[in-house]
Amino acid sequence: MFILAEIGRITAQLRRAQDLSQLQAALNAHVSLSRWQQIEHGCRNATIDTLRRMAEALGVPPLVLGILSWSDSEILSALRHLPQAKPFQTGQNIALLRKTQGLSQRALAQRAHVSVSRLRDLEHGCANVTISLLAHIAKGLGISLLALCALGLSGAQVLDMVHRARAAAQMKAP
């Protein structure tokens, strides 16, 4: 999946910009070295919680890990026409989008190729979700993964996060 390769590439770029070894970064994020390496190589699906810890260890918001190389116009285009929602409340926002589109949990589950019980658990906040699962759900809703993850944030807020992370990626630690 392309998004996993992009997350891995950006993670490696941010880590190198801070002169951190993979081991140092993994320890800072409280993940195993092998997990860190797999994610950097784009060949391991990660949970949102793991990506959050990795992003925090690198000093950036998790949202930017998959979009740092996007242009500002690509980011703003992906965020157009979204309903008002609570930032960083993924499960609740999936339910909001599903209901806005008049979809039942069963209908969205079929579109997203996930089980109804998994979707229900996610909507209720009872499941830790992976990037690939979120990508399937976003596709089932007819939106980008960025739009799903940035729901409740303004375009200006997302661009500010990206611009700060870009600056951090280009700075070398002393």
Q: What is the mean pLDDT of residues 141-146?
A: 86
| Single-letter residue type at 46 | A
How far apart are the C-alpha atoms of 110 and 173, rounded to whole Å? 47
Question: For 10-61, how does the pLDDT look when each residue is reduced to its tens digit (9 = 90+)?
Answer: 999 999 999 999 999 999 999 999 999 999 998 878 888 888 899 999 999 8
> Taking the C-alpha atoms of 106, 109, 111 and 114 in order, what is their torsion angle to the nearest 10 degrees?
-150
CB 93 within 8 A of CB 152: yes
Q: Is the pLDDT of residue 171 over 60?
A: no
Give the three-class secondary structure for 73. helix
Position 173 scores a pLDDT of: 41
3-state secondary structure of 112: helix
Per-residue model confidence (pLDDT) at position 70? 86
Residue 174 — very low, low, confident or very high, per pLDDT cuts 50/70/90? very low
Model confidence band, residue 84 (pLDDT cutoffs 50, 70, 90): low
Residue 115 has pLDDT above 90, yes or no: yes
pLDDT of res. 146: 83
Mean pLDDT of all residues in the chain? 85
